[in-house]
Structure 1
């Protein structure tokens, strides 16, 4: 009779490795199979947007809730953003309509493209609800308000400022108007239709109409 073959000994269970968050709290590292790198970042931002849309409040969400919704560990979030406010700014920025590339062939063409991008942002339903909620919430979060303007608003304005300055330098636009006035003249009409006149039309023809009217009004005079 053959002697019984001994059964293999099971390997001892090993606790998952832990990492420390920015708050000094040890949490499990994301296990194999969880989203990583670009996939993880996309999952985190989408989870943040879903929670913001669901709760309509920045205060009502937490890094822990976002981690659970995204299927990642808290440390995965803290490796990318220092805290909730930075995460919310990144999520809002990710929900924006990507800016179109400006060909730089003419001032009029670049202005139409910028205005069309604004129009698309204004009619985007997800961005619409998110922007209304975040704008109201920011009054209670001064640092978030500052970061949002620095990361999102100023980025848009920098593109417009560069285009208008090029027009001033080439002699196509009046040099006697402050740059901030020129920028407000360009962005004002769509913002008014979006924020003040709620039922105002934002038809596809609007950017070209605005660009033509603006250039007739602010063009340099010979």
Structure 2
């Protein structure tokens, strides 16, 4: 949050931004639907002026996306030591996110509300989902350059192959196991078939 640029040199207060985000979360926890949360209502709850919010986020959708980012597990710092290790870290974050959504009716409800708003879901996809996808694809491109994975397969399709089993269990099969070590098993199984073939 602190990384966003300030308005005309005026320093940003992390405490103010935190209180705004916590204000939205408080309203959601009280059962207020996303559609009924206005900037004015958030400002009252957080004890700030509307202009304070608009200086940080241009609108409601951008603020809600920021709230969702805060509620999710943080993106990992990839060590870059190997394609395998980086892919395992990326899938492990997805596994933990799936567990969090299962254990929290609140998170599940907010996600469902976001998906029912095309504009909000598109903003979330563009600012949260797509950057993570680009990161995973770049890991595989680096693996192709380093000779760790086959150079003849589209890295975007490869990344979908890695994501597929975890997403299936985390999203489409709520009864599916998300056990410890699942990320490693998925990555190791797929890498067996994606390693370059010796001449």
- TM-score for both structures, normalised by structure 1: 0.76
**Partner Cα separation in structure 2 for residue 126 and residue 85 of structure 1:** 24
Count of residues paired in the alignment? 187
Please give the per-residue CA displacement for 1:61-84, whole angstroms capped at 9, x wherever unaligned: 111121122121211111111111
Please give the TM-score of this superposition, normalised by the length of structure 2. Answer: 0.84
- Structure 2 alignment gaps of length 5 or more: 1-11
C-alpha separation in 1, matches of 2:182 and 2:196:
23
Deviations 1:194-222 (A, max 9, x none): 11111111111111111110101222212
Structure 1 CA distance, aligned partners of 2:56 and 2:103? 23
The answer as to whether partners of 2:87 and 2:187 remain within 8 angstroms in 1 is yes
**What secondary structure, in the 3-state scheme, does the structure 2 residue paired with 1:39 have?**
helix
Matched, 1:71 2:47: yes
Distance in 1 between residues matched to 2:156 and 2:33, nearest whole Å: 32
Q: Which runs of 5+ in 1 are unaligned?
A: 1-35
Q: Which has the higher contact order (CA 8 A, sep 6+)?
A: 2
Structure 1 residue aligned with 2:20: 44
1:118 to 2:94 alignment: yes
Q: Does 1:165 align with 2:160?
A: no
Is 1:179 the counterpart of 2:155 in the alignment? yes
**Alignment match, 1:199:** 175
Match of residue 8 from structure 1: none
The answer to whether the 8 Å contact 2:162/2:190 transfers is yes
Distance across 1 between alignment mates of 2:49 and 2:100:
31
CA contact (8 A) 2:19 2:46 kept: yes
Preserved CA contact (<8 Å) 2:43 2:49 = yes
Give me the whole-angstrom Cα distance separating, in 2, the residues matched to 1:185 and 1:204.
Answer: 20
With over 3 angstroms needed to count, the CA separation of the structure-2 counterparts of 1:79 and 1:148, relative to structure 1, is: same
Q: Distance in 1 between matches of 2:133 and 2:13?
A: 30
Distance 1:184-1:131 versus aligned 2 partners, 3 A rule: farther
Larger Rg: 1
Give, in angstroms, the shift of residue 191 of structure 1: 0.8
Which of 142, 151, 165 is matched with 2:118 structurally? 142
How far apart in 2 are the matches of 1:93 and 1:168? 30
Give the aligned CA root-mean-square deviation in angstroms.
2.2
Cα contact 2:98–2:171 (8 A) shared by 1? no
**Consecutive aligned runs of 4 or more in structure 1 exceeding 6 Å deviation:** none
